[in-house]
Chain A
């Protein structure tokens, strides 16, 4: 099988690491060779962050090269736009419908681009999710990323039960229930 290349992009602090670890966990569970590349340190402080997940029979490099991504999971719209060119021609974007202004916009140095989703839809297969809204309904805004993961999971090869098992083993024990609910919402969306 060809190596599957997934990118998770967002704003530092949004929890891309948890999502990549769940993805890495399920691919490991399925017996694949897996590599995940994460961002720690300074870049995490509200900056643009990107995490790579690759799995297949044998994986060499831990990053996804430009033009090779199968799936782009974006926690924020501007970050989807920033990294979309990493996708293959028929690549899929799962995009959280959330806008977080970068400081360059708040200070008036730059403008937040308009019609991001429409622009992306011209070239790519885009699925839009209002994950924050769903998470608020569940009473825990931090699980919005698990809603997005649920949407991504519904497009992937692994069994739903296995996903839930990996989530149980990865998220903090106190948040297992709410994360599973969030996953269910995304999965059936």
Chain B
């Protein structure tokens, strides 16, 4: 047994891939998958990169597999949608070097716009899925996934959830196995998909899945634990831990492979227990299949499709226990908010003043939808702000969008927003696109992207210039404005939104949480001059509150000295105490 240590689920996946001899890893950051790449980048033997989006990441991993090495792509559940095109087709081709796609689901929506279940995608794409239940399994199953990939000639999905990805547990480290590069042989029947070849590949893929369905019954990652047989539970992943916590005496069939299901093993287990329950978060993927085989079982009749499960939930649902829990105290909600010193707040305060609607996107700036800024009206997915604004204009005409802007971050713009902007130019659109450039991928914890000038490995690289990129598309009106220059912002936004063509405003100022960000100082309030009007607080800076006399107090431990409040005070009551004051 190797060295014992405590590891985050995502770090354990990275470790497993490393130990399996993975050579190439590509990903786009997305909670709860981001730390996989951040950890794999630490291993010198692995080439690891941030791709501009998940489709690109998937295709990079596919290329590496075709070239004969073990490769991995990792992404959040909605990222799998972006990567769906290569995934659904590559599953027909099969592999050369082993390839693993890590899909990180988010039951409970801790940091996502939906609660989709990646197992459904894997079923549709005919891709096997392994689902670990803790950090040690995350390490072991990732290694196993590479083996299965090569044995059954298929890409394999490792499915995690937030609770696994962001939990730490004890793991036993093993050494890396250097896998020899596989020979590349030109084989268009396998590697080149067109109707004639793909028809034949589809047959082979279904046969491989059948073989895997049989073999899965004897794999040690699927395990029947017989205890009291009056109750039997089929579970996998983190819900398995809740079952063990709540029902330590019952029999459990713990599935490590959730697609395809080991049918014979499930039939055998079902025949040995009196009452069978299926405990799985999100969709009834296991349950519907088991029921389709004519096996009576109870699942979503007593469990929810939404959110995370817990041991208490299982105690209540299966044992019918009444839990004598204390009622939670009345406490005002504390939703997430833009940080002190956030450049988005400054930009949004101007849009609010001008009563402009925002077609939104995915990032920290989505929080601009909430009071007191209330600027963003709607959003859909990565990159959609620009194309939805375009759709609005084509539906209702030029004047309709003159009190609208598209709001998108720098990383999201390069992810898929750039395609939508191309569409605006091509189709003679009217509309103003605001790229909120804070020099990072903020929400996921500050990852680099093609315009930051740094790679995932921390090397200096060419930084794509967003201004020139927009110009190169043929947009005449592209302007860069300091995100904290309220006067200039107001002038440019007023002017550009009235223009009968596409214009782009790039607001620039780094995220206040970046390590490279140096606060100018802290803002202080002159109590004598403060008239308690509350204007400075209208943008919702969390470092500010009203004292009992109604006058404003700034928390010097939170203030980043951005000076936004200072610009909003008509009485000159706020000043900047230059650095050294903090």
Contact = CB atoms under 8 A, between A and B. Distances in A.
Nearest to A66: B325
A129 to B, nearest CB: 16
Contacts of A66: 312, 323, 325-326
Contacts of B35: 40
Given A39-B166, A40-B34, A43-B110, A65 B310 contact: yes
A100 B553 CA distance: 12
Nearest to B29: A41
B336 A12 contact: yes
A82 B334 CA distance: 10
B331 A81 contact: yes
A42 B323 contact: no
A24 B8 CA distance: 11
Nearest to A99: B545
Nearest to B558: A100
B134 interface: yes
B364 interface: yes
A60 B336 contact: no
Contact of A45 (B331, B337, B372): B337
A1 interface: no
B210 to A, nearest CB: 34
A4 B482 CA distance: 51
Interface string A18-40: 00010011001000011111111
Contact of B32 (A40, A65, A109): A40
Contact of B364 (A38, A45, A110): A45
Interface in A117-143: 119, 132, 136, 141
A103 B241 contact: no
A65 B311 contact: yes
A41 B168 contact: no
A82 B331 contact: yes
Given A45-B336, A102-B332, A61 B311 contact: yes
A81 B329 CA distance: 6
A37 B310 CA distance: 13
B328 A82 contact: yes
B329 A25 contact: no
A61 B335 contact: no
A45 B338 contact: yes
Contact of A102 (B170, B244, B334): B334
B327 interface: yes
Nearest to A38: B166
A110 B335 CA distance: 13
B167 interface: yes
B245 interface: yes
Contacts of B326: 66-67, 84-85, 87
Interface in A75-115: 78-79, 81-82, 84-85, 87, 100-107, 109-113
B170 A45 contact: no
A103 B329 contact: no
Contacts of A87: 326
B163 A34 contact: no
Contacts of A84: 326, 329
A104 B169 contact: no
A101 B371 CA distance: 15
B335 A103 contact: yes
A44 B364 CA distance: 11
A119 to B, nearest CB: 7
Interface stretch (B198-206, B524-532, B536-544): B536-544
A72 to B, nearest CB: 12
B245 A60 contact: yes
B348 interface: no
Nearest to B337: A46
Interface residues on B, range: 35 or more
Contact of B329 (A40, A48, A65, A119): A119
Q: Which of B31, B166, B244, B445 has the most CB of A within 10 A?
A: B166
Given A38-B166, A40-B445, A61-B241, A105 B332 contact: yes
A36 B168 contact: yes
B111 interface: yes
Interface residues of A, number: 55
Contacts of B334: 11, 46-48, 78-79, 82, 102-104
A102 B170 CA distance: 36
B460 interface: no
B395 interface: no
A34 B242 CA distance: 16
A63 interface: yes
Interface in B349-393: 364, 367, 370-372
Contact of A35 (B168, B329, B371): B168
A78 B332 contact: yes
Contacts of A38: 8, 166-168
B29 to A, nearest CB: 10
B443 interface: yes
B339 A60 contact: no
Contacts of A47: 334-337
Contacts of B292: none
A63 B329 contact: no
Q: Which of A46, A84, A109 has the most CB of B within 10 A?
A: A46
Contacts of B371: 103, 107, 109
B311 A39 contact: no
Contacts of B5: 28
Nearest to B332: A110
A105 B537 CA distance: 12
Contact of B110 (A13, A21, A41): A41
A103 B326 CA distance: 27
A41 B32 contact: yes
Contacts of A136: 557
Contact of A41 (B169, B311, B443): B443
Contacts of A37: 163, 166-168
A102 B544 contact: no
Contacts of B31: 40-42
A112 B557 CA distance: 20
A43 B241 contact: no
B322 interface: no
B340 to A, nearest CB: 9
Q: Which of A12, A21, A36, A42 has the most CB of B within 10 A?
A: A42
Q: Which of A36, A47, A103 has the most CB of B within 10 A?
A: A103
30 contacts: A34-B168, A34-B170, A35-B167, A35-B169, A36-B6, A37-B168, A40-B35, A40-B111, A41-B32, A41-B110, A41-B444, A42-B443, A43-B336, A44-B336, A47-B334, A60-B241, A60-B244, A62-B163, A67-B323, A67-B325, A78-B331, A82-B328, A82-B334, A100-B542, A102-B333, A103-B335, A103-B337, A104-B335, A110-B332, A141-B557
Question: What 3 A-B pairs come out closest when comparing CB atoms?
Answer: A41-B111, A41-B31, A110-B332
Given A41-B443, A85-B327, 7 more contacts: A24-B6, A36-B168, A41-B31, A43-B110, A46-B338, A47-B336, A102-B334
